[in-house]
Amino acid sequence: MSPMYDKPVRLLMKDMVEVFQLKLGEVLQREKVFQWFQQYYPKIKEGTIQAHLSKMSTNLPVRIHYKANPNGEDDLFFRIDPNRYRLYDPANDPAPIYKGQLPTSKDDDTESSTEETTAEEKASEFAYEKDLQSFLSKNLQLIEHGLRLYEEEGITGIEYPAGGRFIDILAVDKNNNYVVIELKVSRGYDRVIGQLLRYMAWIEKHQMDSGQSVRGVIIAKEITDDLTLATSRIKDVELFEYELSVTLKKVALYLTP
């Protein structure tokens, strides 16, 4: 997708640093970044700005979803905390994170069950969810004809930032309306409704243009009765259960005499 302005957001971030005359060690407030873009580049959406902040922060694992370039051109910031950044200092900071080095973790809004989950089980579920996320992002037509992955300025709808948390998949339907997709590899409990509605509200407030709408989709291995009951009182939310199929192919062995 072509940039909205004469430069992509990645380069505008670097221009902003020059305008602020930011020096090594100086703190850059997140809110100041948003104010600058709102003043000079108001068409760029808040989620896109935040995604670029994450992409260009060398110590954030989530940057791998935004295809941070290993050649170093995206290594601009070091995140101190969710609201404060500084310039990346290659002489003193840890090496930048690139794809294939570290897994990303989801926010802490995962549902709890009465059964204790071991660390190994959590790791397995996380890996499965990443696989499911990757597969569905490439096959959104399985959910609905005409559904496509959201994309703007090189940032896609995978792990899309929404108010300090991340949407599993943000998609756009054939009518150019938003679809927030939340994935659960095991059971989908009713608590996920609150998580989904928060994301939908954030998109409505910060992302949607006039005439657009947003709806939600929850995909889980098993949809619980509680979740079905809770969703029955909420419009614009759909539930899906997924099934996995595995095919094995025997490999012929050529033994030497």
Q: Flag whether 101 is in a domain.
A: no
Task: Return all residues near 254 (Cβ < 8 A) that are at least 6 apart.
Answer: none
DSSP-derived 3-state class of residue 7: coil
Helix, strand or coil, per DSSP, at residue 68: coil
Q: Is residue 104 part of a domain?
A: no
Same domain, 32 and 83: yes
pLDDT of residue 122: 53
Q: Cα–Cα distances in Å, from 152 out to 56, 69, 79, 155, 189?
A: 16, 17, 23, 5, 32
Cβ contact 223:244 at 8 Å: no
**Inside any domain, residue 81:** yes
Q: Report the pLDDT value the prediction gives residue 159, as an integer from 0 to 100.
A: 93
Same structural domain, 37 and 134: no
Which tokens sit at 58? 């060398």
Residues 65 and 149 occupy one common structural domain: no
Q: Which of 42, 71, 87 is the last residue of a domain?
A: 87
pLDDT at 69: 93
Tell me the three state secondary structure of residue 240.
Answer: strand
The count of structural domains within the chain is 2
- Looking at the fold, whether 235 and 155 belong to one and the same domain comes out as yes
Residue 214 domain-assigned? yes
Q: Rounded distance, CA 8 to CA 185, Å?
A: 36
Same structural domain for residues 125 and 229? Answer: yes
CATH number for position 189:
3.40.1350.10
| Residue carrying structure tokens 């791998």 | 64
The residue range of the domain holding 153 is 119-241
108, part of any domain = no
Quick one: 160 and 222 in the same domain? yes
Tens of pLDDT, residue by residue, the chain (257 residues)? 567 789 999 999 999 999 999 999 999 999 999 999 999 999 999 999 999 999 999 999 999 989 899 999 999 999 999 999 999 999 999 999 997 665 444 544 444 444 444 555 555 555 677 888 999 999 999 999 999 999 998 899 999 999 889 999 999 999 999 999 999 877 767 789 999 999 999 999 999 999 999 999 999 989 999 999 999 999 999 999 998 777 888 898 877 76
